[in-house]
Amino acid sequence: MAEISTQIGIRIRNFRKKRGMTLDALSDQIHKSKSTVSKYEKGEISVDIETLYEIADALEVHVEQLLYCPPRFSPGSGRSSNPAFFQGASQFYSYLFDGRSNKIIRCVFDVLSETEDHRYKIMMYMNFKDYQNYQNCENTYWGYIEHYDAMTQISLSNQDTALEKASAQILASYLDSDTKWGLFNGFSSRPMMPIAVKMLFSKTRLKEDETLIQQLKVSKEDIRLLKLYNMLSVT
């Protein structure tokens, strides 16, 4: 229980700082003392479920974002209909290369819950400084994973900008491997334009070196296929 309280506290602190909210402001909104909220964030005391919902409302996040489930990726522990790459996953990662800033953009996906129609609710945290505080990121998206026979579809909505939508498609996710290529598409504000970019999905964190950068960049073969098909394809 101590680890759960600590991790929930980290999430509360990260989202509070991301919102630019002080301890005093949060404590006023949930009608708790500043010292109590500080103890929540340090994991010194557990947060009851009603207070957790109040904190989520105050921070304008889904309550599931404050919950903690130890990351796992254990093949065979999920539903039989769940593709091999995602089998038993509570968290996975993805990477893309942004030529505008000339750097790798890292993402963390938290798998929150399964819906009655067998979709999986997820949160995507995009472009953060460190994995310990990945919730404090540039963009946060919520959405669903849907699995089909030949591919997996990820549909996303920006948590801060309701009009911004994004999606990712992953081919042959039913085949197991440590990584999978996908196509991420959405709407960029720097500059304002629709985009589509290669995205590498991984069960584990990858070493962010020159080798990964070269994998993520558009290659000569990508350009050849783009000219041949007149479309950007990622397989």
Rounded to 5°, the CA angle 70-75-76 comes to: 110
pLDDT value for 79: 45
CA–CA separation, 235 vs 147, rounded Å?
Answer: 17
What is the reported pTM? 0.80
CA–CA separation, 36 vs 53, rounded Å?
Answer: 16
Element (H, E) at 179: strand 179-189
Give the SS3 label for residue 34. helix
pLDDT value for 93: 96
- Residues lower than pLDDT 70 in the chain: 1, 70-82, 162-163
**Any idea which residue has 């539903």 for tokens?**
79
Element (H, E) at 220: helix 220-229
Residue 231: other Cβ atoms inside 10 A: 9
pLDDT value for 52: 95
Enumerate residues 6+ apart whose C-beta is below 8 A from 91. 71, 72, 73, 108, 109, 110, 111
Give the SS3 label for residue 200. strand
CA–CA separation, 214 vs 175, rounded Å?
Answer: 24
pLDDT value for 54: 96
Q: What is the pLDDT of residues 162-198, one digit of tens each?
A: 668 899 999 888 888 999 999 999 988 777 889 999 9
pLDDT value for 82: 67
Give the SS3 label for residue 39. helix
pLDDT value for 73: 52
